[in-house]
Structure 1
């Protein structure tokens, strides 16, 4: 964003606002805070105690790809793939009953367990740094999974199925995975980015984790195996459905999630926010001289 503004090709309205640039784990937009005006954030909580957070979401500009990544489908490995550091939200203790339930670590453990049993035919998941938070007394894994090197996103295109797993909040890499002509398997998570409401399950991605059976019985942390079984069936019997979801995902990211469109979103959000305060320009005109007198270089 800084480079775009410095180029002179992008102009944003003069506007005073609060912008939360971290993961927003503290839920600054919690409706119970009774704030006078909403603020901007990159991420907010949904479905948590107190109601949906009131933050106005803006795009993150750090990890953005303006390219699509393609590998012919018949050359892709039939595995669900992920590489990443072992971070997680910590929201699953009550749901699964373990103190250290971290999707990235659990699925890495499943991968290694299956390989040791001679049945590594579903997952290729690994953490890229050691996991230091395993609960000895009440752990979701029997042992710590091995650490493996990271893999650049373009190389993920060698696999049919890509796992989008949570980090400290929702993973910012989702839009990057959507650039790949593979199907994204989206882990349900109680956080959202600005574009999540515009993409739909079984239209742009396939959900898993924190799910229930057709009878309404909560499923365990291993529901990924059932999801993979269904996707493989579709890939054989109705391959057009798989390819349509992938096409929908790539079309969406190419139309709406590029750097250009994210900047346009920023401009629209700031213009609409500023319109809520008729005296914004007057207030800024009074504030700037005071800040400059204090040494602010603005």
Structure 2
């Protein structure tokens, strides 16, 4: 999706007929528009590309000529570097605006997960491995894990893997809630963080925009299918009950403080401001030069005009703009060295500008 913002009005181009992708696009524009008005936030005059599919796009495309926003990407915690050049934005189609409670001592002591088997997922994915553990002893005493939906038509799912659907408001009945990747990182994490339950988060390279702010042992417990049972056995010790309650409290407070719709809108606006600054004075001038009709849906001809103008407007490491013929390092604009610099700068300048910690509101303490 290509989005143009001018004078706090949002125009967008999304040619796909995929209903889910178009729904995501509409929700992004609608939530950003309504949220910025409600919070009295000034949107920057800018043009940006937002990948609405699950997979990050820059690595698949070979490179991104301009910074591209996505909802998921891979991050190597050992090297502290992203494996994808995409810049992360919140998925504005998910609402984490309520808190769910159930008395601690009345909670089911097992760890629960209700999942969907997506058509793109392998039958030996972590969700399936957890369902297998839950189907037999000793896992059956510690886990309540299964699939409430199977979208993989080629797979005859074992009956023991199938479990009834549990609505999100009933998740708080369990002491432990499990988050497991689907095709990429699972946006379900924000939903279960609304509860006063302990969150078990899969160790995984897949991240969303806020994952690097979650501290293992403070907000979540990390697991893999190879050690999840050992982890649950460890925390059966009554002496560790206080630690579990602190974990549940910290996770729920993190959600309430940062993952609400207002919090995500603030984050999105800040990210767009940092992104726009990479172009210096060129971006506002570019936006003002675009001629569009009264319809907020941009036409294919509008899109082609925008892309041509974006290709002609370069951005530099110092945040200023340059013409397509300008080359501060003595190489042509098509050189691999300049492309590498642009790609690394994109993550550094935008994500570091936003910060690895969620944006604090005025007067808040992290």
TM-score range, shorter chain: 0.7 to 0.9
**Secondary structure class of the residue paired with 2:289:** helix
> Which residue does the alignment assign to 1:260?
262
Which residue among 41, 62, 66 is the counterpart of 2:70? 41
Paired residue for 1:55?
86
One of 1, 23, 33 as aligned partner of 1:5: 33
Q: 1:76 deviation in Å?
A: 0.2
CA contact (8 A) 1:88 1:167 kept: no
Q: Quick one: which of 64, 72, 76 aligns to 2:107?
A: 76
- Across the two proteins, how many residue pairs are aligned to each other? 263
How does the TM-score come out when normalised to structure 1?
0.79
SS of 1:225's equivalent?
helix
5+ residue gaps in structure 1? 91-98, 136-140, 210-220
When the two chains are superposed, the root-mean-square deviation of aligned CA atoms in Å is 2.9
Q: How does 1:17-166 map to 2 (within 5 A)?
A: 17-24=48-55, 27-30=56-59, 33-47=62-76, 52-87=83-118, 100-114=123-137, 120-130=140-150, 132=153, 143=158, 145-166=160-181
Separation of aligned partners in 1, 2:302 and 2:62: 32
Does structure 1 conserve the Cα–Cα contact (< 8 Å) formed by 2:116 and 2:148? yes
User: If the length of structure 2 is used for normalisation, what is the TM-score?
Assistant: 0.65
Whether the 8 Å contact between 2:119 and 2:153 is mirrored in structure 1 is: no
- The SS at the match of 1:21 is coil
Moved over 6 A (4+): 290-293
Deviation at 1:51, TM superposition (A): 5.9
Q: Contact between 2:31 and 2:92, CA under 8 Å: does it hold in 1?
A: no
Give yes or no for the alignment of 1:169 onto 2:184: yes
Structure with bigger strand share is: 2
Distance 1:132 1:243, change over 3 A: same
2:235–2:241 Cα contact (<8 Å) kept: no
Q: 1:146 to 1:32 in 2, by over 3 A?
A: closer
Residue pair 1:66, 1:254 contacting (<8 A) in 2 also: yes
2:145–2:163 contact (8 Å) kept in structure 1: no
Is contact 1:87–1:102 with CA below 8 Å preserved after alignment? no
Instruction: Determine the C-alpha separation between the residues in 1 that align with 2:230 and 2:300.
Output: 64
